[in-house]
Amino acid sequence: MAQLTQAARPTTLDRPISIVSWLSRKNRAYYLLGYVLLILLSAWTIFPFYWQIATSVRLDVDLYRPSVTLVPQALTLEHYAKVLTGTSSQFPIQFRNSLYVGLGTTLVAVVFGSMGAYALTRLRFFARAGLARILVYAYLAPASVLFIPLFMLMNSLNLRDNLLGLALTHLTFSVPFATWMLMGYFKTLPIELEEAALVDGAGRLTTLWRIVMPLSAPAIVVVAVFTFTLSWNEFLYALVLIQAKENMTVPVGLTAYVVADVFYWGQMMAAATIMSLPPLLLYFFGQRWVIAGWTAGAVKN
Amino acid sequence: MATLGTTARRMPLAVPAGGPRLGRDWRLGYALTLPVVLVIVGLIAFPLGYSVWLSLQDIKLGGQGTFVGAGNYSKILLDSTSRIHDQFWNSVYVTAVYVGGALCGKFILGMTTALILHAQIKARNLWRALLFLPWSIPAIVSSYSWKWIYNDVNGIFNNLLMGYGLIERPILFLADPTLAVWSVLLAVIWQGTPFWTMTFLAGLQAIPHELYEAAEIDGASTAKSFWHITLPNLTSVILVTVMLSAIFTTNSIQYIYILTNGGPGGATETFPLLAISQGLRAYDLGIAAAIPLLFFPMFALFIYVLTKRMLRTES
């Protein structure tokens, strides 16, 4: 997890290092091989994404011609229009459902996580170390074991086919994750500021709220982005718990573009592309914020 | 108590020993950890226990259960006349091929990518963004993209192959019993490689540069320094990544569910998919609860080793 925590922050790769580099001086073949591999690997990583976008802007006649071209012949936004404004389209509602579940889960995870992480790194009480260990167990508890009993649990709580019930199941991975990540960050914060505040008569909760939380803003953003993304993409619990179309989140809602054996690929890929946007935007803006937070200096020990 | 003591020593918390100002406050400690504990107990520990209880019953959805002891387990494991017995052992085999194949593929591609990104290359940020792309796309989205790519009618693979006259009839990438698992694997490897690249990159950056310089002075070849410096220094990173990825790969069902839904004829039915079909289509909850639990000891072992390592690397 330490490695994960570090890698979750933007890594700088500025140090000039290593094998291919010094080989390149001796042996240009390696250097060339490196770039050839780079191009091949990039083509491999880009292609499915390119194909998703390309499909979403193609005309239906263009999609179902016997010989599909790699580059669309004519561009259209009709699939997007159908997905977003079509009279029978459930997509806007499902998008809203996903937002509710994702934001709710994230808020709860960050609040619970900060409280727990503060206690686990700053206070001493019986079973604290054991609890820290259980957190990791909890984070790794396999969803494939949990989904049947959680289904039964939500069933008996009358929370099956319900967004609140779904959000509760998302807490199983988001709360341990957020707590663990924030613990790692809280440990790096300078304790002197908090001690000074306590000496000046501030209570612990004030210290947590006025000193630890503001200093941890970058970590909280990272945790929030990750938690939201995990919840936004979650499929198994949503598949198992939700039945009604108007209660579905987007990942399960995508199955609506499969009618019997007919796939509406254009609309499907348009909906899928819109679904990919929130996490991408979050990463984009979140990262800037994180870097700003780090360079601000207050965080440095 | 001994374990508690050593763990506490391994985790240097920011509490000055015996410090009067920060430190003991057990009431606040319990109050602040209560929500987390409630989530763990109510939504993880209790369901786990409930799952064990379910697995000991013959119970259908909405019906009353009867206690059958180890009946479900012996039916799954030993009763060769029952259908679930064959399905279960098939899922053991499929899960092994699927997870094993995914780990090998991700290891090779992840290591290659990490080594290249770690080297001095031009426009590194751009390449990195491109190579990490599969990670930033929701798995459910890319699984549909792959389904469309593999499609027998108008799928781009078949279109290109037929366009160039390489094949006469479309290849049934997802409907052919022997081909399906490999098609799924290719897509799963595509999606999971960036995670490995990321952890390997972090690991590579932690290797002191001086080691390579010393090896160069001693005249070691690239292959030699990779074998004797890079790999040994990455051992613990590799171990952790393999175990984490094994857990994640087994549990993430989107790809199989969307691409083949376990078919054709169970050729891609890993155990979570078998559990889903038993629970949600056959409504046989006792069996559905027992199947993942049979795999739980393996998970538990991974989780135990991982936890130890994670807590140790904290210090």
CB atoms within 10 A of CB B71: 18
Note whether residue B231 is domain-resident: yes
Note whether residue B17 is domain-resident: no
- CA–CA separation, B297 vs B295, rounded Å? 6
Per-residue pLDDT at A167 exceeds 90: yes
Q: Which residues of chain A are within 8 Å of residue B272 when distances are taken between CB atoms? A: 144, 236
Q: What is the pLDDT of residues B127-180, one digit of tens each?
A: 888 888 888 889 999 999 999 999 888 888 888 888 888 888 888 888 889 999
Pairs across A and B, CB distance < 8 A: 352
Which of B134, B237, B263 has the alpha carbon at shortest distance from B186?
B134
The answer to whether A236 faces chain B, any CB pair under 8 Å, is yes
ipTM comes to 0.83
Q: Are residues B311 and A136, on separate chains, in Cβ contact within 8 Å?
A: yes
Per-residue pLDDT at B109 exceeds 80: yes
Q: What is the pLDDT of residues B75-102, one digit of tens each?
A: 888 888 888 888 899 999 999 999 999 9
> If you measure CA to CA, which chain A residue comes closest to B59?
A152
Nearest to A191 among B22, B257, B311 (CB): B22
What is the amino acid identity at position A76? T
Note whether residue B26 is domain-resident: no
Specify the range with the lowest mean pLDDT, choosing from A59-68, A169-178, B3-12, B73-82.
B3-12
Nearest to A138 among B44, B203, B225 (CB): B44
Per-residue pLDDT at B304 exceeds 90: no
Q: Which two tokens stand for residue B11?
A: 């985790």
Q: Which residues of chain A are within 8 Å of residue B91 when distances are taken between CB atoms? A: none
A155: left (phi over 0), alpha (psi -120 to 50) or beta: alpha
pLDDT level of residue A53 (50, 70, 90 thresholds): very high
Question: Are the beta carbons of A119 and A125 closer than 8 angstroms?
Answer: yes
> If you measure CA to CA, which chain B residue comes closest to A27?
B222
For residue B255, the enclosing domain spans 73-311
Note whether residue B189 is domain-resident: yes
pLDDT of residue A296: 41
Mean pLDDT of A209-223: 87
The CATH number for B250's domain is 1.10.3720.10
- If contacts are CB pairs under 8 Å, which of residues 71-110 in chain A contact chain B? none
Mean pLDDT of B264-268: 89
> If you measure CA to CA, which chain A residue comes closest to B190?
A45
- CA–CA separation, B166 vs B160, rounded Å? 9
- HEC string of B248-301 equals HHHHCCHHHHHHCCCCCCCCCCCHHHHHHHHHHHCCEHHHHHHHHHHHHHHHHH
Note whether residue B190 is domain-resident: yes
Domains contained in chain B, number: 1
List % helix, strand, coil for chain A (3-state, nearest 5). 75, 0, 25
Specify the range with the lowest mean pLDDT, choosing from A227-231, A266-270, B213-217, B305-309.
B305-309
Q: Are residues B247 and A140, on separate chains, in Cβ contact within 8 Å?
A: yes
Note whether residue B10 is domain-resident: no
Question: Are the beta carbons of A278 and A232 closer than 8 angstroms?
Answer: yes
CB-count burial class (<10 Å; 0-12, 13-18, 19+) for A71 = exposed
pTM, full prediction = 0.83
Note whether residue B55 is domain-resident: no
Nearest to A44 among B8, B190, B199 (CB): B190
